[in-house]
Structure 1
Amino acid sequence: MNLRFAAPDDAAALADLGARSFVAKFGYMYTPEDLGNFLDESHSAKKTAKEIADPAMRVVLAEEAGKLLGFCKLVLACGWPEHAQGSKVVELKQLYTDPDTTGRGIGSALMDRALEIAREHGAEEMQLSVWSGNEGAQKFYARYGFGKIADIHFMVGDQRDDEFLYARML
């Protein structure tokens, strides 16, 4: 498996994987209209291309033999400053793997790289949000030293999802 920063020509494949991963894990929770609108806004090739080009973000891909296996998006700014403990905080925006490749260590490799990038950036803390019902992800983040620091929410169309804000000092 190779980890590398995303390039502009990765936008379509990255958007497709993000949408497929989200639908596989959470699609059942939403009306078709809410889900469709959310995917159009959050997982379009156009939005993904903007994120790749954004100097305030780092988008890391995991691939093998030219196949995209997963990705993570790191925002080099604090997503929830009202809950910050450190003076320089970054946000892990997304960490997704291809639904067909779960359990191969891809998420761990991406998390290790995200933490490395955060430290290289001089961050003192990393924050992330996780759906309150996603116990598997919560256990994964706990293994990396993240703990719940607040209750927050996430909107998908008209539906409000209860989420947990997790953080850890670096």
Structure 2
Amino acid sequence: MTQVRRATPGDAGVLARLLWDFNTEFGAETDDVDVLASRFARLLDLDAAYAVLAEDGDDATAFALVTLRPAIWFDGPVATLDELYVVPHLRDRGTGTQVLDLCRRLARETGAPEMHINVDEVDADTRRFYERHGFTNVESEADGRMLCYVGSTA
């Protein structure tokens, strides 16, 4: 039976392995697991981030990472779901929903009225998952697509 809980800094190595698996599954560039583990440990010591971990017995089956940032538009922070991953052979069994539900509950507890998620346009399955859970794309006919720009700080 799957148990979903808030992760602790002690879970950093498990979270790092899941993130590495996620990135390599989709051919994305990724750092080594030890580098990711160090970053997870640092992030999970902050008030501005939390992770959720799903486990089935001794097996880690899914995780999510949420960061919080101050916002001028609300009294509370804006939550950003940075990552959500379910191991491939356990997809479509409700684990992702359990992880997302806990992420949202924890966000509400911090006072965050919104959760933002960036999804690749071509990732139809992921878009359907979030839409099924009440998330909407902010793109409108009049305004066009909202784009996310990334640049170096150097």
For the superposition of Structure 1 and Structure 2, which TM-score range results when normalised by the shorter chain? 0.7 to 0.9
8 Å Cα contact 1:21/1:99 also seen in 2:
no
1:99 and 2:99 are equivalent in the alignment: no
C-alpha deviation, 1:109, in angstroms: 0.3
Number of aligned residue pairs: give it: 141
CA distance in 2, matches of 1:153, 1:106: 31
More moved, 46-55 vs 124-133:
46-55
Contact 1:86 1:125 in 2 (8 A): no
* 1:30-62 C-alpha deviation (Å, 9 max, x unpaired): 6xxxx2xx3349x72111211222221111101
The 1:141/1:86 distance shift into structure 2, 3 A limit, reads farther
Gaps of 5+ in 2: 139-145
- The one-letter amino acid paired with 2:24 is V
1:116-135: per-residue Cα shift (whole Å, max 9, x none)?
A: 11111111111111112111
Root-mean-square deviation over aligned CA pairs? 2.2
**Structure whose residues are more often helix by fraction:** 1
1:86 CA displacement: 4.7
* Structure 1: runs of 5 or more not aligned: 156-170
Whole-Å separation in 2 of the counterparts to 1:55 and 1:96: 22
The match for 1:133 among 122, 128, 131 is 122
CA distance in 1 between counterparts of 2:63 and 2:53 reads 4
Q: More strand per residue: 1 or 2?
A: 1
Which string of whole-angstrom CA distances, capped at 9 and with x for unpartnered residues, describes residues 125-168 of structure 1? 1111111211101001111111122221468xxxxxxxxxxxxx
Q: 1: CA distance between counterparts of 2:98 and 2:149? A: 27
Aligned pair partner of 1:144 in 133, 137, 152: 133
Q: Which residue of 2 aligns with 1:8?
A: 9
**Quick check: 1:85–1:125 contact (8 Å CA) kept in 2?**
no
Could you list the structure 1 runs, at least 4 aligned residues long, displaced by more than 3 angstroms after superposition: 84-88
Contact 2:54 2:61 in 1 (8 A): yes
Distance in structure 2 (CA, Å) of the matches to 1:49 and 1:133:
32
Q: TM-score, normalised by structure 1?
A: 0.73
Secondary structure at the aligned position of 2:148 is classed as strand
Q: Does 1:90 align with 2:90?
A: no
**CA gap 1:86/1:125 in 2 versus in 1, 3 angstroms:** farther
- The answer as to whether partners of 2:75 and 2:111 remain within 8 angstroms in 1 is no
CA 1:66–1:116 in 2, change beyond 3 Å: closer, same or farther? Answer: same
Displacement of 1:96? 0.9
Residue identity over aligned pairs, in percent, reads 30
1:73 offset after TM fit, Å? 1.1
Aligned counterpart, 1:53: 45
